[in-house]
Structure formats: C-alpha cells, structure tokens
Structure 1
Amino acid sequence: MVGKEIRRWICAALLYEGGPATVVRLAQLIPGHPEPHHVSQQIYELKKVGLVEKIGVGAGGKPTWRLQDRFVSTNEITEMIPQIERAAREKVALYSDRDAVRTEILECLREPAPPPGQKPVLSKQEILSRCRSAVSEHEVSQILAELVADGRLIAEGSGAKRRYWAAKNMQLSLCSLIQIPEVPIFQDEKTIRARFAEGKAARRRSAIGGAVTATFDRRGNCLELVINKEFLNGR
C-alpha cells in the first residue's frame, strides 16, 4: 500500500470514527492493517496540507487526530466505509514480541553454520522473512539498530544494500589466549597486554570490575586485551 492510498484510507477511517483517533486505531481500521509507523508518516503529510489536525492524546498518551473542517468527502471515500467496518471487527496484532524477534534475528544469523572462512550475511528483508514473530518491519529495523549498537551485530552499507552479520564473541577466555603462541604479550608495571592485530579501535568492553579491557575494531575483531595488575591485586 503506497503513501497516497494510505492517506485516502486515513481520511475514510477518520470519517468512519466520527471523532479523534490515534495512529494505532487508524491502523486497526484500515484494511490490510498497515504498520502504525507508515500510518504516522502519512498522517503528517495530511497535516501539512491542512486536512487533519492533532487535538489531544488518547490511549497510552498517543496523539489523537481528526479531520479538519475544510475536508470534503468524495464518493470514493464514502465507498471505503463498508471495508473499514469489516476491518474494525478483525483482531490484529500491530506490534511484535520484541524479545522473540531479537532471539530470531540472532538465530538466523548463526544458522545454518557457514563454510569455514565465511559468515552469514543478510539484508533486512531476508532477516524479516525469517523472523516468524515479526509483525512490523519498522520494529525489526529498530531491533537491528539496537543489536548493532550493543555490538551483537555488524552492519555495513545503507538502504537496500545494508547487510548484517553476527559479531564475534566478545567474551574472551584468558585460558584460551595463553595457549595461542603467536599472540605477542607485553608487560609493564601496571598492565599485561595481549596484542592480536593492528587496527583502528571502535569499541572497548571491560569485565571483572574493570580488571580486563578488550578493544575491538568496527567488525567486532578483538585487537587487544589489557589486564590491569592493580585491580587483580585487589587495589
């Protein structure tokens, strides 16, 4: 459903309501039940041309909207009302279980196991198609952004070319590190440093009360691990 079509349905839904309605209510009334995010975008387009106005708040503190007096209905708008009446009787979920979607996103980027030296790389649309709990594409976009910010996923590109993949595990085992002979170890009076690779630091994470700090590049590769001797000695 394109923007112009959604705008017509918004006007018909507000006419059907006969009074103020929230974006969520309008999404429930429009056949096909577009995402509230898309309805919100189009209602602001209608506000720009003076066909609707915001007049207060409704359930959950969400803004309510109504038709302006200058709005003039058409036969096309009137003929939409019976479809809105049917849509109003449907039970529909407009929002996702975000925890379930988050789990499904991480799972689909781990499975199936990729060939050695490769990693699962997916677009947002591919991820969306694999998340059974996802209701809203906008919510999937928000959750992907959260996972990238948390360092759980790596993203590159923009728009339709943006791709996501799982970051490497950032919880490193000290026992595993000391068994890797090619990792150079540097030590001074205060710290022990394990240098894994050269690169530009993009993120640091600490553990054990600040005793251990790991530095990562933007792809999630660990560049360096620093152990603070003073913290370990109980200072």
Structure 2
Amino acid sequence: MAFTPIAPVLRSLFIIIIMASGLALSESAKIFTVVNYCKETIWPAITNGENFTGGGFALKQGESAVYTAPPGWHGRIWGRTGCNFDKNGNGKCETGSCGTLLNCTSPGSPPTSIAEFTLGVTDFYDVSLVDGFNLPIVVNPSNGKGNCSTVGCDGDLRLNCPPELQAKDDGKVIACRSACDVFDTDEYCCRGMFGNPVTCLPTNYSRSFKQFCPAAYSFAYDDPTSIVTCTGADYTVSFCGSR
C-alpha cells in the first residue's frame, strides 16, 4: 500500500511516503529513510538546508518515508506531535511546531528532539536534546565506513522528566523542556560568560538527560560523546525505535 504525502515535492529534495521498501534509487544517492514506530501518528519535519526549502509530512504508526538528500546538504529532522492540518497544510501541533505550516521552512519550537546532519566527504551527525525532548529518536547509518555509530535516545524521557521541566496538555506530559527553556539563565543556556566549552559545564538537568540518553547531546558543548562521523553511509531516522 502506498500513498502520496500532503506536502508538495521539494525543490532539491523529494519525499515519497511508503508502507514498505522496494523503491529503486540511484546508487550514488544519499538515501534517508524516516520511520514511525510510535503508537500514534507523527508529523516529521525537515528544515535548515541551504539548498532546499524544507518539508513536512504525516506518518502513521508503522509507515516510513524515503528521500534523497542533495550533495552537501546539512540540516535537521524532527518529529511533531498532536498536529491538526487542513487540506491546505495550515494548522498547529502540540510539540515541534514550525509556525502554522505542515511544510516547514524554519526550525521547530522547543521542546523538540532533533537529528542533525552535515553531509560531505565525511558526514557528521548527532541527536540533540539541547532544545528538550518530545519523541524518542534514533539515527542508524548503513553501509558506511568509519565510526558510523548509532546515536539517539530510544527511551521516553517524558516518563522520567523532572516536574519543573514537564510540558503538559490536559494534565498529560507531552514533552520534557530544557533547563534553558524553563529558567532562561546564562548558565543553563551556555551564553554570556558561560558561552564557551570551558565555562559551560554539565548541570544536574543535563546530567539526568545524559544518564537516560547517553548517545545524545545533553547540553551545548557535549561534543566528545555525542557527535559521530561516517563516510558513504545511508541513514535511517527512527521515531520510537531502538538503538
């Protein structure tokens, strides 16, 4: 079974929503597969690329999307929850909104779990919880050379979120906010005198994120244990999947 995504075909990035694999693509293409293992419909988004306009689409439980990224693409992929869009792609989401559009042209609003990519001769990628957490997300490279580790957070941090960081809707915890988002201080936000890797250190909140999600960024300068490199890989981005 196959169906057409709501969003239009992007200028430098095409997206086809599929229920199973089997799509023939060029061997030279950089292939990304986005999979929804969650028990609910989510609305993945793709943005912040220099040479494409962004995108967004719906994935029901068990569905996947395949797309090819242009050479040198860098940007982010994240999931939105609790969305309601009309036939023109206008609406809103409980978490991860990029304004009122299904087809994102700007980053999502925190709290949001984010997969970040910079593609080149060597690819750099990571999963970041610096802006908080709204969905488990895992990045798994395939057929690459180098480190090529699987990164991300496959546990549901919403179930272990400190009370003061909880984002709720009708009494239900829908996301876990970052300490920067809640308290807006230089220390938690790694700015001002804390805007460098010497003075911006882990806090109790970022340590709790790191303990629960050791293969994801927990604060701005969490590079040594979070960013990974790989050459010649394709990538699967799984929501609610396993590392």
Higher helix share goes to which structure? 1
Larger RCO, structure (CA 8 Å, separation 6 or more): 2
TMscore range, shorter length: under 0.3
- Could you state the TM-score of these two structures normalised by the residue count of structure 2? 0.25
- Could you state the TM-score of these two structures normalised by the residue count of structure 1? 0.26
